[in-house]
């Protein structure tokens, strides 16, 4: 200022001017400047002050806040009678969404700090910590919990013992990849051991030998079962409309769903035509289902009694479970990349020569139980190109790959992530979810919203808030210890109504009923 403006100030006044510039507080007595050079100097100081401010914020301040410990436990809402999830190696959000949809309170313990923080930031009740550590379990309020779910692999036993030390009355459900660990886990206090690979393998095996034979666990009540009928390409039912099948006019059978052209229809329309490998899901008394099975047990329709030539690709836990679940008269050919006692063809299932060596052209069904989704999808596409008529049943890990599996050529596909979430939801929510493994979900709900209507009217629509174009169907009602499926049965307010539908449609229905 002395040189450019001929304005004399002390060194202390000059220092104050520079500080005013750097802190962007303004000048007051010194502005406006008159010479170009003084204006340029002030502009330079202003820009450098802003640059230094941003640099300090980015390099020093923000990292300092990031390094500040954030206690995710402080974000938890008060807990009581809740579920503590001790690690979950599947898709965490899929399970947590399932629990929240059912109104179940929970805390997820995740040892991965980034994943726990991501879930917490997304609004889920998650904390970071070691589920083997007593302090972490206390942060999850394990003492007030009613159920613990463990999916910690080799650490499951340690987690269970530490959890029981803090809550002796705690129920425990453990996930394991190997059913050989079931007995050991049960001995230390695990109430239920779940092996998703085994359950899905068995499910696919039952699908590979089609008919009305019902897999274990699909009973709705003592008097009613859920059966599946699969129509082969050579069946006389091929091309007929649903209303022309033996299931449509039987009053004690409810036609729940149909897989037609790879699309789930709940319920199928009377005019829908059955295509090759279409699957019809029905519910009714076992003897009536047997009668329906006998009605379609004609040449060209395979039933569970017919011999099958089944190829099982992958002999891991799920593949072995599928092999064990197949009937004794089925001719089984096992494929694996490793040579084992139960393996018939050693090779890559993604290689056409391997599938040809296993007899894909003559096989009635191919069960794809490999661990890698990409390999499974490739095997499906190759098998479909080599044998147009073979029934392909596949297991995939990620839920989003189910639709891709159908597009690749699969006739039936199950997701480990979705099936596991459903199984756990059933255990947490009692027996509300009847059949959690398959694509169709059956749940029990209150009969009051349907009161005064017959089963036929409830499915056809009427003047209630529940009437809409939705993918769900009323299967029947539980009353006085009996399960009724007759279409003329009038629903009473205190009945328990069994609904079948997709995850989305059942969730929407439950939200509608709740309001």
Residue 41: strand, helix, or coil: helix
Whether residue 185 is found in the same domain as residue 77: yes
Residue 428, C-beta contacts closer than 8 angstroms, at least 6 positions apart: 83, 99, 102, 104, 147, 149
* Co-location of 388 and 488 in the same domain: no
Total number of domains constituting the chain: 4
Of 155 and 234, more confident: 155
pLDDT-derived band at 472, boundaries 50, 70, 90: confident
- Domain final residue pick, 159, 194, 229: 194
Q: Quick: pLDDT tens for 230-285.
A: 776 556 677 888 888 877 776 677 787 787 765 667 778 888 888 766 778 887 77
Tell whether 150 is covered by a domain.
yes
What percentage of the chain's residues is helix, strand, coil (to nearest 5)?
40, 20, 40
Per the domain annotation, does 246 fall within a domain? Answer: no
Boundary residue ending a domain (194, 211, 227): 194
Note whether 326 and 396 are same-domain residues. yes
Q: Are residues 76 and 178 in the same domain?
A: yes
Q: Which two tokens stand for residue 316?
A: 């891991």
| Same domain as 176, residue 125 | yes
pLDDT for the residue 440: 67
User: Do 453 and 412 fall into the same domain?
Assistant: no
Structure-token match 């705690």, residue found: 170
CB contact at 8 A, 428 and 104: yes
Which CATH number covers residue 440? 3.30.70.1450
What range does the domain containing 23 cover? 11-67
Q: In this structure, is residue 230 part of a structural domain?
A: no
Q: How far is CA 316 from CA 67, 187, 248, 423, 506, in A?
A: 43, 25, 40, 21, 33
Q: What is the CATH number of the domain that holds 112?
A: 3.40.50.720
Q: Residue 251 domain-assigned?
A: no
- In this structure, are 390 and 490 located in the same domain? no
pLDDT of residue 297 exceeding 80, the answer is no
**More confident of the two residues 48 and 461:** 48
Residue 221 belongs to some domain of the structure: no
pTM of the model: 0.65
Task: Provide the 10 A C-beta neighbour count for residue 123.
Answer: 10
Determine contact, residues 109/171, Cβ cutoff 8 Å: no
Same-domain status, 315 and 383: yes
Q: How confident is the model at residue 431 (pLDDT cuts 50, 70, 90)?
A: very low
Q: Summarize pLDDT for 47-84 with one digit per residue, the tens.
A: 787 788 788 877 777 776 666 556 777 788 888 889 99
Q: What is the mean pLDDT of residues 455-483?
A: 70
381 and 400 inside one domain: yes
Given a cut of 50, is residue 434 above it in pLDDT? no
């Amino acid at each position: 200022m002395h040189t450019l403006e001929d304005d004399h100030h002390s060194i202390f006044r000059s220092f104050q001017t520079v500080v005013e510039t750097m802190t962007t507080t303004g000048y007051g007595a010194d502005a406006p400047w008159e010479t170009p050079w003084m204006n340029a100097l002030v502009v330079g100081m202003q820009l450098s002050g802003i640059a230094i401010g941003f640099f300090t914020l980015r390099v020093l301040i923000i990292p300092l806040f990031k390094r500040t410990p954030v206690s995710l436990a402080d974000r938890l809402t008060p807990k009581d009678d809740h579920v503590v999830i001790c690690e979950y190696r599947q898709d965490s959000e899929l399970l947590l969404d399932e629990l929240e949809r059912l109104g179940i309170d929970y805390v997820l313990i995740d040892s991965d700090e980034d994943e726990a923080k991501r879930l917490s930031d997304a609004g889920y009740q998650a904390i970071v910590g070691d589920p083997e550590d007593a302090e972490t379990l206390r942060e999850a309020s394990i003492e007030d919990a009613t159920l613990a779910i463990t999916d910690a692999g080799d650490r499951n036993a340690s987690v269970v013992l530490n959890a029981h030390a803090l809550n002796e009355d705690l129920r425990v459900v453990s996930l394991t990849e190997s059913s050989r660990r079931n007995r050991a886990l049960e001995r230390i206090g695990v109430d239920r051991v779940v092996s998703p690979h085994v359950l899905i393998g068995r499910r696919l095996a039952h699908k590979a030998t089609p008919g009305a034979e019902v897999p274990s666990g699909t009973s709705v009540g003592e008097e009613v079962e859920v059966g599946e009928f699969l129509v082969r390409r050579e069946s006389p039912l091929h091309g007929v409309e649903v209303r022309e099948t033996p299931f449509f006019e039987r009053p004690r059978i409810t036609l729940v769903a149909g897989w037609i052209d790879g699309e789930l229809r709940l319920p199928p329309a009377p005019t829908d035509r059955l295509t090759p490998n279409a699957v019809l899901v029905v519910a009714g008394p076992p003897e009536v289902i047997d009668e329906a099975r006998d009605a379609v047990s004609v040449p060209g329709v395979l039933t569970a009694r017919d011999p099958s030539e089944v190829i099982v690709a992958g002999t891991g836990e799920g593949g072995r479970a599928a092999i064990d679940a197949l009937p004794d008269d089925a001719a089984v050919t096992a494929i694996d990349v490793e040579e084992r006692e139960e393996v018939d063809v050693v090779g890559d299932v993604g290689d056409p020569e391997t599938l040809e060596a296993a007899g894909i052209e003559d096989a009635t069904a191919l069960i794809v139980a490999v661990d890698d989704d990409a390999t499974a999808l490739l095997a499906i596409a190759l098998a479909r190109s080599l044998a147009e008529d073979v029934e392909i049943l596949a297991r995939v890990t990620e839920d989003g790959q189910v639709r891709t599996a159908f597009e690749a050529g699969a006739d039936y596909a199950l997701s480990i992530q979705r099936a596991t979430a459903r199984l756990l939801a059933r255990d947490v929510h009692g027996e509300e979810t009847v059949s959690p493994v398959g694509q169709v979900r059956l749940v029990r709900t209150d009969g009051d919203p349907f009161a005064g209507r017959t089963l036929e009217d409830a499915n056809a629509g009427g003047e209630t808030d529940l009437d809409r174009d939705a993918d769900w169907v009323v299967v029947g009602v539980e009353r006085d210890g009996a399960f009724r499926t007759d279409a003329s049965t009038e629903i009473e307010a205190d009945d328990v109504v069994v609904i079948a539908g997709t995850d989305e449609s059942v969730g929407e229905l439950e939200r509608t009923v709740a309001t």
